Structure 1
Amino acid sequence: MSVSRRNFLSAAGGITLVSASAVSGRTAFASVPEAPTMKSPQMQPPLVPKTGPDYNPVVTLNGWTLPWRMNGDWKEFHLVAEPVVREFAPGMVGHLWGYNGQSPGPTIEAVEGDKVRLFVTNKLPEHTTIHWHGQLLPSGMDGVGGLTQPHIPVGKTFVYEFQLQKSGTFMYHPHADEMVQMAMGMMGFFVVHPKDPAFRRVDRDFVFLMASYDIEPGTYVPRVAEMTDFNMWTWNTRVFPGIDHIVAGKGDKVRIRFGNLTMTNHLIHMHGYDFKVSCTDGGWVPEEAAWPEVTIDCAVGQMRAFDFVADKPGDWAIHCHKSHHTMNAMGHDLNTFIGVDKRKVAKKIKRLVPDYMPMGTAGMADMGEMEMPLPDNTLPMMTGWGQFGSIEMGGMFSVVKVREGLAANDYKDPGWFKHPEGTVACEWKGEPKKTERAPSPTPARRTAEFNVVKPGRKSPHDNH
């Protein structure tokens, strides 16, 4: 796509541009393309190709696609590795490292067979590289510092050039001081579309990367030496309720792609549907071999994609099925008080700490409904409100919203689903009273009386 400064700004709402000379600080790099940057954590519209092969662009949850320019037969991109501030959800930010203003960096999209030239400018406080995870390319372009290339020094710009040999689902991340740089949020998605626009085409194509962070309440920088005890499990460095909803029209064919750069595996489960696993970072699964699932395991360093037809309207949860990964700011040293009568000891503690609230005797659900004072820069462990009350989630959780009548390019949140009468689980009020009826040749069917339980609280977002 050949894009001018004007249509960069108009097409991607909120993208700003940094000139190549400002990025590199040297006139020798005046030929380097400009580096778009994004500050907003809101999902940006897909970047539709105006020239070249046709494809249906992806939509990055809480992210955007990196614009490019054509230079002869090369498609040129510019990534800037730099410190960034990322909002995990309203009320909490992290001081991370990323690309072009965000963590994760912008999604790169291209087409099988494209010749790509990727400029990488290092504005970090230490050297870096980029590894193009899953791509088939010359060894010297593979991005392993010290092994296949020199490290990119602070303030310098390196260039990677290779031809895309296959379509599929890939990512990028450093291979330099990897424990620190990846723990600080340096990663991004790389989607290569098939040369044949009809091959495995879908109507809506969503992407996100999974990352984990340990950011203690009141602090802003992740603990990079952590291996297991993380407290922020994220999709595109966002946690529920800050993760975008996945919106689809009834009848749309939908693909969801995700990659795992955490320190453990994740079992991604979607409610209401079964789906077919269609792609890995190794390539496409042949259609006759695609297998049905409702939960797919994604191990560390892997990428997966699944397809489904959105034929069941509703609000359907999608989340990691490890329960601790749908929590925020969760300490793992908590005692279990289920069944413990804490009333007597609570009275004594309140003499010293008047605001003390005993919890956990009957489980942890009350934490999702209470609004307790929090330390600076952290989030409730369980949070989020729906039309029927507290959702009691966090971390890796979002909602697939399937609606009738959506326009093809409409990704806005349609609000909560309006359930047809009689289709919401509700309190049982017993059989209706029997009444005298005239004899009937066939027994009359009994109907039960149902009353929907009144929600404890209305969602602050329920304005529809």
Structure 2
Amino acid sequence: MTFSRRNFLGASGTMALIGASVVSGRTQAASIPEAATMKEAVMQPPLVPATGPDYNPVVTLNGWTLPWRMNGDWKEFHLVAEPVVRELAPGMVSHLWGYNGQSPGPTIEAVEGDKVRIFVTNKLPEHTTIHWHGQLLPSGMDGVGGLTQPHIPVGKTFVYEFLLQKSGTFMYHPHSDEMLQMAMGMMGFFVVHPKDPAFRRVDRDFVFLMAAYDIEPGAYVPRVAEMTNFNMWTWNSRVFPGIDPLVVAKGDKVRIRFGNLTMTNHPIHMHGYDFKVSCTDGGWVPENAAWPEVTIDCAVGQMRAFDFVADNPGDWAFHCHKSHHTMNAMGHDIKTFIGVDKKEAAKKIRQLVPDYMPMGTAGMADMGAMEMPLPENTLPMMTGWGQFGSIEMGGMFSVVKVREGLAAGDYKDPGWFQHPEGTVSFEWTGEVQKAERAPADLLETSQNANLVVVKPGSKPRNVNHQWRNK
């Protein structure tokens, strides 16, 4: 079925049941939960708990939370490992492997102290397992094929049972033909909320996983043996401009959690704010030890979370700070033509290729602005448009949109930020004739009547608009 919160009756779920004849493992259940599935790549609303301890649910970028049912004192989930088709951004899809219709799979949410029972059905063409990355559990439930359990054969369902011993930020992924299966997109988020609903509570809680793919233009399946030269750097198997914005109400306390299952580290940077690192995959950072950053590096296999108060409205860029990770379909053998005069060469080439356009002599920005014909099933290297023109980004890039007056559960894209008059950088057109003045208590005038100076120790109030030319 296609999962819809309109027809799902609460988190404890009145769900149809299917036979358990293929269930393997020590749990002998009469039935297993239906495996909800999702095909859309649009961020779904948070799944608010209908029973059990209170918590503020997370929101998965371009994803959703897996529903569960209560069976006695066990919280039961059902994951299906299967081939999926994932839209990376409008204009490009990839044939990946994932869970329950998507890559990455649905987010699992539970509470510290919960007893969870997770059914895993294998619909892949080869065996698999699931490792619960960062969880403290019995060795036989750790999911390492051949070491701690038999591999799950094609067509079979295994059961994992364990007690959630601590709250925090975790993930799941295979430990069976691991290089190939993770390279094909098999991964998912696992959030365990604190037993005390007041502990480190936030108003909005976002999650995403980082993965990288090498998909040649016109191809649909990633090159799984690639180790370094990837061309699609993704958050939740999406690239800009296909990644959801993070929509936040002014005044909200916000948490952003992310994990890294690529082959390299990612320095994640947010504009407009500093934040405090609040959680790692090892656990919560004590509040008096949380350190301030504007960029936090996330190494391979790590998870990080940071918190901030959204007190500065605007559209704030949020991205990996490795510049080639904010590009799509980037070739790695591109020659540098900066400063090269191609005029004469272009004339000769156009005799054979009439539509040839020489590029790169003055940089690469023209690639983001031109809508050139592309091969089938690929994306421009630099793309995306904002209210002021081409954004010239791709890959691991999104926007944190902080707005006044949003309702608590409102995650709809509010459009582009309407900047107050005089707060947008502008073109210099000549000598300033008359400067707009800030309040007198903040300013003093120098001997140059056109120069406005902020008094030492005073707090500026958007004074960058003082230099608007009349």
**TM (normalized to structure 2)?**
0.90
CA contact (8 A) 1:17 1:35 kept: no
CA contact (8 A) 2:20 2:30 kept: no
CA contact (8 A) 2:367 2:381 kept: yes
Q: Match of 1:243, SS?
A: coil
User: 1:450 and 1:134 mapped to 2: Cα distance?
Assistant: 57
User: 1:208 and 1:110 mapped to 2: Cα distance?
Assistant: 17
Shift of 1:58: 0.1
Which residue number corresponds to residue 277 of structure 1?
Answer: 277
User: 2:447 and 2:4 mapped to 1: Cα distance?
Assistant: 73
1:335-374 matched pairs, under 5 angstroms: 335-374=335-374
Which residue number corresponds to residue 20 of structure 1?
Answer: 18
Shift of 1:269: 0.2
Structure 1: runs of 5 or more not aligned: 435-440, 452-464
Which residue number corresponds to residue 382 of structure 2?
Answer: 382
* Deviation >6 Å, runs of 4+: 5-8, 15-18, 441-444
C-alpha change, 1:449 and 1:138, in structure 2 (3 Å) is: closer
CA contact (8 A) 1:259 1:302 kept: yes
User: 1:275 and 1:124 mapped to 2: Cα distance?
Assistant: 41
The one-letter code of the counterpart of 1:58 is V
C-alpha change, 1:159 and 1:230, in structure 2 (3 Å) is: same
1:9 aligns with 2:13: no
Which residue number corresponds to residue 143 of structure 2?
Answer: 143
C-alpha change, 1:448 and 1:199, in structure 2 (3 Å) is: closer
Shift of 1:430: 1.9
Shift of 1:215: 0.6
The one-letter code of the counterpart of 1:48 is V
User: 2:20 and 2:84 mapped to 1: Cα distance?
Assistant: 17
1:243-282 matched pairs, under 5 angstroms: 243-282=243-282
The one-letter code of the counterpart of 2:379 is L
C-alpha change, 1:29 and 1:101, in structure 2 (3 Å) is: farther
CA contact (8 A) 1:20 1:29 kept: no
The one-letter code of the counterpart of 2:422 is G
The one-letter code of the counterpart of 1:450 is N
1:184 aligns with 2:184: yes
Q: Match of 1:208, SS?
A: strand
The one-letter code of the counterpart of 1:174 is P
1:100-159 Cα distance to aligned partner (Å, 9 max, x none): 000000000000000000000000000000000000000000000000000000000000
User: 1:393 and 1:300 mapped to 2: Cα distance?
Assistant: 23
1:334 aligns with 2:353: no
CA contact (8 A) 2:23 2:159 kept: no
CA contact (8 A) 1:18 1:36 kept: no
Equivalent pairs counted in the alignment come to 438
CA contact (8 A) 1:429 1:449 kept: no
Which residue number corresponds to residue 441 of structure 2?
Answer: none
Which residue number corresponds to residue 314 of structure 2?
Answer: 314
Which residue number corresponds to residue 94 of structure 2?
Answer: 94
1:228-253 Cα distance to aligned partner (Å, 9 max, x none): 01000000000000000001000000
C-alpha change, 1:168 and 1:403, in structure 2 (3 Å) is: same
Which residue number corresponds to residue 49 of structure 1?
Answer: 49
User: 1:316 and 1:248 mapped to 2: Cα distance?
Assistant: 11
The one-letter code of the counterpart of 2:18 is A
Q: Match of 2:70, SS?
A: strand
Which residue number corresponds to residue 164 of structure 2?
Answer: 164
The one-letter code of the counterpart of 2:247 is V
Which residue number corresponds to residue 422 of structure 1?
Answer: 422
CA contact (8 A) 2:278 2:284 kept: yes
C-alpha change, 1:17 and 1:342, in structure 2 (3 Å) is: farther
Shift of 1:188: 0.1
1:403-418 matched pairs, under 5 angstroms: 403-418=403-418
1:160-216 Cα distance to aligned partner (Å, 9 max, x none): 000000000000000000010000000000000000000000000000000000111
1:108-257 matched pairs, under 5 angstroms: 108-257=108-257
The one-letter code of the counterpart of 1:300 is V
Which residue number corresponds to residue 469 of structure 2?
Answer: 450
Structure 2: runs of 5 or more not aligned: 435-444, 451-465
| Percent identical | 84
Q: Match of 2:33, SS?
A: coil
